[in-house]
Chain A
Amino acid sequence: MLHPRIIPNLLIQNKGLVKTVNFKNPKYVGDPLNAVKIFNEKSVDELIVTDIDATVHNKKPDFSLIEKIANQSRMPLCYGGGIKNANQAKTIFSLGVEKIAISSAAIENPKIINDIADSVGNQSVVIVLDVKKRFLGRGYDIFTHNSKRKTGIDLIDFINKLKTMGVGEILLNSIDQDGTMLGYDFNLIDKVKKVTTLPLTVLGGAGSLDDIGSLIDKYKIIGAGAGSLFVFKGKYKAVLINYPNNEEKMKLINTYMN
């Protein structure tokens, strides 16, 4: 049986590992390489690493750090942050990264998606959509640059456009839920699921394994991403890198896949 993927999402700022709330107030939680090492030992299904500085400060991806992270990863690795063209994507791919996540560059110029897909294959192209609920619940807007820039693009309109492009996966990130640990936004996920059959990974809100269980229960095959859940422990949010062990993971999957 195919299993849903349970995926830690690591944010990097200034070469350090951080965690945000609603994309704000990044709190330093440790050394990214050490975290990757621990997650590798814990046999995570997949890992997403996002450099939240790169695009905002108009910096290139930190190839040396990416290489070090890839060297330690015995699982699929997705990198995002600052990728502007197919050449950079190709370089990152050659360092041992499977999935290339793009956001602002692709939203500003969707043609870049096909350029990158031509050089690394559709399956390796992940489009990241950071979204915020509109007032009065009228749909969702796409944001870029760490939620600082409102694109004015409607989420569903953009996903409909993706159909003709070489995208392998959508990474849907709820700015409203980020860091709150209050659960995923099912209303948002429902809306997206209605208009696309592309593989989907969701982020934002996971506060417990039960939240991940509810997600699996509802959507079965989905990428369950989480940030805070896997770097904090307890109600005072003490920093502790954690991830369900194989037994816990299988129990969760077997309970909710049926």
Chain B
Amino acid sequence: MIGIIDYGLGNIKAFSNIYKSFDIPYMVISEKSELEKVNKLILPGVGAFDDAMKKFKNSGLKNKVESMVFDSKVPVLGICVGLQMLGNSSDEGVEEGLKWIDAEIKLFDSTKIDFSTKLPHMGWNSINILEKNNPLFSNINTGDRFYFLHSYYFDCNKQDNILAECSYGSTFTCAANYNNIYGVQFHPEKSHFNGEKLLYNFSKI
């Protein structure tokens, strides 16, 4: 059973719609007790980093989720700001990140972006998969397009944690992995077949 963590941010409905269409059991988690029923977790997120961190900390779910991820090795997938929350800190705010993956969240350097609209990085962009055998990217290839919407990026301190990269002005990490912890910067729930494949792959990890 996949648990979609609902702490007040993110397009929960979009994830539910996809798992429902695949007949994959899922539930939306907003109470600590509900976490008992799931063995995989999706951590969505949109908007500002501090707002997301505060809402997650105040949701009453954080401690239990951390024990699931670290003691029971439950696979977790952070999405967009949900990925950024996995890092140490963010240029966007003052809140501490979860520090599950060693990374800092940085603002894109606008001076390197050639277009008149600099930020956010919004739209479809192709990705470069570095860890081709990672199960998250099964049946997904370098060059495939995903939908992005963000102004900050996940800057991994350890090269080993980078699963896939993308380019906007400069190259940045668009998918990261450390043990059972995964995160993607793009929105698989809004990336047509490629996104559906990725969410399906995660359900099989």
Could you give, for residues 55-75 of chain A, a 1 whenever the CB lies within 8 Å of some chain B CB and a 0 otherwise?
A: 000000000000000110111
**Chain B residues in 8 Å Cβ range of A198:** 117
B147 touches A75 (CB 8 A): yes
The CA of A124 and the CA of B149, in the complex, are separated in Å by 10
Q: How large is the interface on A (under 10, 10 to 19, 20 to 34, 35 or more residues)?
A: 35 or more
Known contacts A123-B47, A123-B149; A96/B14 CB under 8 A: yes
Q: Contact check: which of B47, B167, B195 meets A74 at CB < 8 Å? A: B195
The CA of A119 and the CA of B194, in the complex, are separated in Å by 30
The CA of A123 and the CA of B187, in the complex, are separated in Å by 14
Q: Cβ of A185 < 8 Å from any Cβ of B?
A: no
Stretch of B93-101, B118-126, B176-184 at the chain-chain interface: B118-126
Q: How large is the interface on B (under 10, 10 to 19, 20 to 34, 35 or more residues)?
A: 35 or more
The CA of A1 and the CA of B166, in the complex, are separated in Å by 8
Contact residues of B: prevailing secondary structure: mixed
**Chain A residues in 8 Å Cβ range of B187:** 76
Q: Please provide the chain A residues from 204 to 243 with a CB less than 8 Å away from any CB of chain B in the complex.
A: 219-222
**Chain A residues in 8 Å Cβ range of B124:** 2-3, 5, 45
B116 touches A219 (CB 8 A): yes
The CA of A70 and the CA of B148, in the complex, are separated in Å by 18
Q: Cβ of A110 < 8 Å from any Cβ of B?
A: no
The CA of A73 and the CA of B21, in the complex, are separated in Å by 12
B125 touches A197 (CB 8 A): no
Q: Please provide the chain B residues from 1 to 37 with a CB less than 8 Å away from any CB of chain A in the complex.
A: 11-14, 17-18
Q: Cβ of A121 < 8 Å from any Cβ of B?
A: yes
| A and B contact pairs by CB, cutoff 8 A, 15 listed | A1-B126, A2-B148, A5-B124, A43-B192, A71-B17, A74-B191, A75-B190, A76-B149, A93-B11, A96-B11, A123-B120, A197-B117, A199-B122, A219-B116, A221-B117
